[in-house]
Amino acid sequence: MTPVKAVFWDMDGTIFNNEEAYEILVEDVMKRHGLVMPEGMPPGTCMNSLWSAILLHNDPKISFEDWLDEIITRCTQTLNENNIRPGILDTLEKISLASIPQTCVSNSMRKTIDTNFTKTGIRNYFEHLIGRDDVFEGKPAPHPYERACELHDINPDFCFAIEDSEVGIISAKAAGLRVIAYPNNRTKHVDFSMADYIIQNGKDIQTILNL
């Protein structure tokens, strides 16, 4: 197998088991401000895209910045280490011990990533945090993963992405990476045929990477 020189992680739904709670929280914030949630938004959709869809059907009295800040604040208040998915902590440690650099590549804002990782004690495992606000276009466009490869100065052939959603897998494959799909309860019925591997526990990543 081609050597592994970097591992790039999605956050929501991949590292943290928080997608369902996150969706409920966003819907609650929407209702508080008299907004209607757009239908058909796929898992992994970035907040900028969601807000654009909201504007098509609503006339919000709250700014995007204030709306997003309220969501981020409430999300970080409820998140803790118990939200980390099975096998992830051990795998982060094993990858770190193997001296393979790790970076988070997420459609969440970088402030959210940093706060969540610091709060749950995993921030030190990651060399870089790439959020939606760090790239021109978020997933499913390839830009987030292309940016990760640039920061590490590594050819994408030597990188793995770990994702839970079709949106993320499309992004990583478009950037030329190999992809490990780690479905959760919300995405387990998604077509993951584009992924190179599909796992059921975070520790399975260690076998794939020969750790």
Helices (H) and strands (E) in the chain, counts: 8, 6
Reported confidence tier of residue 42, pLDDT bands at 50, 70, 90: low
pLDDT for res 46: 67
Cα(160)–Cα(34) distance, integer angstroms = 41
Instruction: Please say if the pLDDT value at position 21 is more than 70.
Output: no
Q: Is the peptide bond before 140 cis (omega within 30 degrees of 0)?
A: yes
**Residue percentage of the chain with pLDDT more than 90:** 62
Reported confidence tier of residue 78, pLDDT bands at 50, 70, 90: confident
For the full predicted model, state whether its pTM sits above 0.95.
no
Cα(114)–Cα(172) distance, integer angstroms = 21
Condensed to tens digits (0 to 9), the pLDDT of residues 137-186 reads 999 999 999 999 999 999 999 999 999 999 999 999 999 999 999 999 88
Question: DSSP H helical segments within 58-161, as ranges?
Answer: 64-78, 88-97, 110-120, 143-152
Cα(34)–Cα(157) distance, integer angstroms = 46
Instruction: Please say if the pLDDT value at position 95 is more than 70.
Output: yes
Taking a C-beta distance cutoff of 8 angstroms, is the pair 163, 124 a contact? Answer: no
Strand order in the sheet with 128-130: 128-130, 102-105, 6-9, 159-163, 178-181, 197-198
Q: Is the peptide bond before 144 cis (omega within 30 degrees of 0)?
A: no
Of 146-150, 187-191, 199-203, the one with minimum mean pLDDT is 187-191
Question: DSSP H helical segments within the chain, as ranges?
Answer: 19-32, 47-57, 64-78, 88-97, 110-120, 143-152, 166-174, 204-208
Residue 201 identity: N
Instruction: Please say if the pLDDT value at position 37 is more than 90.
Output: no
Q: Which fold has domain 6-16+82-208?
A: Rossmann fold (3.40.50)
Those residues with Cβ within 8 angstroms of residue 196's Cβ, 6 or more apart along the chain or in another chain? 178, 179, 180
pLDDT for res 122: 98
Condensed to tens digits (0 to 9), the pLDDT of residues 105-129 reads 999 989 889 999 999 999 999 999 9
**Residue percentage of the chain with pLDDT more than 70:** 95
Cα(42)–Cα(136) distance, integer angstroms = 20
21: nearest Cα among 80, 62, 66 = 80
Instruction: Please say if the pLDDT value at position 66 is more than 90.
Output: no
